[in-house]
Each structure stands twice: as C-alpha cells, then as structure tokens.
Amino acid sequence: MHASIAGGLVNAIKSADEKGCDCLQIFARNPRGWLVRPLTSDEISEFRTAREKSGFWPLAIHSVYLINLAATDPILRARSREAFRGEITRSIDLGADYLVVHPGCAGAAGAEAGIAEAVKSMRECMRGLRLRGAAASAAEAGGKNGLTILLENTAGQGSSIGSRFEQIEQMLELLDNIPVDVCLDTAHTLASGYEISSEPGLRSTIRAINETFGFNRIKLIHCNDSKAPLNSRVDRHQHIGLGCIGDDGFRRIAHNLKFRNLPFILETPVDKERDYAWNLRQIRALAAVAPDFVSSSGVRE
C-alpha cells in the first residue's frame, strides 16, 4: 500500500505493518510543493531500522507530482531536474529499492521531443550517483542491489508521455546503461486504451507488453481500479472492484502467472466507507479464488 508519512516517515512503516502489508510505497517529502526539508541523520536511521524490522520488500518511493522531466520550459525543466535528483539522493539515503516517476508532459513540442527531453533529464539527474552495486549490470533487476528508477505508465491525460507501451520501451532503450525499469499502473493501463477488464483484453495487453518492454522489466504493479472508462485518457483511481476493471478483471490479473510474483501497491481512495485496509482485503479475497486454470504461459486455458 501507499502509506502516509504524516507525523514522520517512520509512521508509514507502523501503518503498513498494522494493516498486514508485505510491501510499502511512500512519498519521502511533501508531494505537492517544491520546497523540501532535509532529513536528519536520526530520521534516516530510525526509518531504516523500522523498515528492516518490518521485513517489507520492496520499499518504493513515489516522486513528487510537480516534477516534469519532459518539460521544454527552461525554468520548469531546471526545477524538475533539481527536485528529481533530490528524490534520488533521498531514496538512496532511506534505503529504497525503487523510485517511481512519471515520464512527464511534452506540451506543444510533441511526444518524440518529450521523450528525448525526459531521457536527457534522467541522465542529467543520475550523473555521478551510485544507484546500484558496481557489480550489478543494468539488465539485472529486482531492487536488491540498490535503487532502481521505475517509469510509470500514464493514463494519457493532456500531453503526457508514457501512455503507450511503445513509448516506455523507447525510453528504456535510450536509458539502456542505467538502472531503469517499469511500474505498471492498472488504472492508467485501462484509461490509456489497454482493455484489461475482460479475458480477451487481458490477453491482448499481455501480448502488447511482451512485444514491447517485456514482463521482465516490470518490477512493481500499482493496483488501482479506474473510475474512468477504457481509452478515456483520464486518471481517476477507484476502490478495487468498484470501477471499470471490476472484480473479475482483478481476479484474472491476480491469478495470471505473468503478474503473480510481482509486488502490488494499492493507491486506492480513502473515504468514509472504504480505506486501504478494505482494499487490501478485497484484492486478497480476489487473489484467493481463481477464475479458472491459468497455464504457464500466463494465458487462460
């Protein structure tokens, strides 16, 4: 689950532990502002100790919302790069396995220019930083050797890049010598036009992934239902089973062998009727009852 850091970073560990989670995602700072307070050595030590005791794996940090690595405006681009480099160093300090980032918005420049700018920004931000062990190659993954950056697919809203799997693949190819992989968001996937709510649609989406960046590059699933329908290009998360993916859609995803060994992070709403604990029970209940037999290829038989 994505846990709140209100009252201190270590509170996120306590909250996730109380809910019976296995893995954890947090913001490492205020996600809606540019200003950031440096972490003290005591805060870092306390968080690392609590995380080690909890046994949570992986620990993911989500980058702040204001970052736009594809920005063509020089002021926004400079602020975004400064903030993202800060997110990287903060993630390393906290011992995170993954740092999730949206590829960015290209504006009037178009997708190709946006992809080129985002790749340039990422290279600039990572320059001189030791993200993973020196013995680990860029093709290795799993977060066990240090920090890996994860590109999150988008819903396709506005001029955002990364809604098409081909765009994610293109960015990975251009970043082939640095530790970058993929975070797949289920709500974004549906809203961007990949029909994962039905059995044929899931099959088609699996083929699309295999034909582009491949499942070996997916390290994390953002498990969210979608308030917005297929191909709406609108990013609106919903409680598990209550949106356009639905119970059957998540049951098939949870039992498909392509997804079963991946960590799932909930980013679902919190309201008076339902919270993260409700959604956690929901996805676990769906995962406990298989829809039917799934072959080793990950396709229903």
How many angstroms separate the first and last alpha carbons of the chain? 31
Catalytic residue among 18, 52, 65, 207: 65
The answer to whether residue 239 is catalytic is no
For 28, phi then psi, to 5°, come to: -90, 5
The answer to whether residue 62 is catalytic is yes
Choose the catalytic residue: 235, 236, 255, 276.
235
- Is residue 83 within 8 Å of residue 125, measured between CB atoms? no
Q: Single out the catalytic residue among 102, 217, 252, 255.
A: 102
Cβ pair 172, 182 in contact under 8 A: yes
Which residue among 2, 29, 51, 62 is the active-site one?
62
Q: Of the listed 237, 239, 252, 255, which one is catalytic?
A: 237
Among the listed residues 87, 185, 195, 225, the single catalytic one is: 185
Given CA atoms 58, 105, 156, 281 in this order, what sign does their dihedral have? positive
Distance CA(59)–CA(51), nearest Å, equals 8
Given the residues 81, 222, 252, 255, select the one marked as catalytic.
222
> Does an H or E element contain 101, and which?
strand 98-101
Of the candidates 152, 181, 195, 225, the residue annotated as catalytic is 152
Q: Is 32 a catalytic residue?
A: yes
292 catalytically annotated: no
**Burial level of 91, CB count in 10 A (0-12/13-18/19+)?**
buried
Spatial distance between the Cα atoms of 213 and 289, rounded to a whole number of angstroms: 30
Separation in Å, CA 173 to CA 177, 206, 213: 9, 20, 9
Catalytic residue among 51, 132, 188, 252: 188
276 as an active site residue: the answer is no
Exposure string for 263-285, b = 16+ CB within 10 A, e = fewer: bbbbbbbeeeebebbebbebbee
Q: Could you confirm whether 152 is annotated as catalytic?
A: yes
Q: DSSP state, 135?
A: T
Instruction: Kindly tell me the burial class for residue 295, based on how many C-beta atoms sit within 10 Å of its own C-beta (0-12, 13-18, 19 or more).
Output: exposed
Whether 185 is a known active-site residue: answer yes
Write down the catalytic residue from 17, 140, 247, 267. Answer: 267
Q: Is 267 designated active site?
A: yes
Catalytic residues: 32, 62, 65, 102, 152, 185, 188, 222, 235, 237, 267
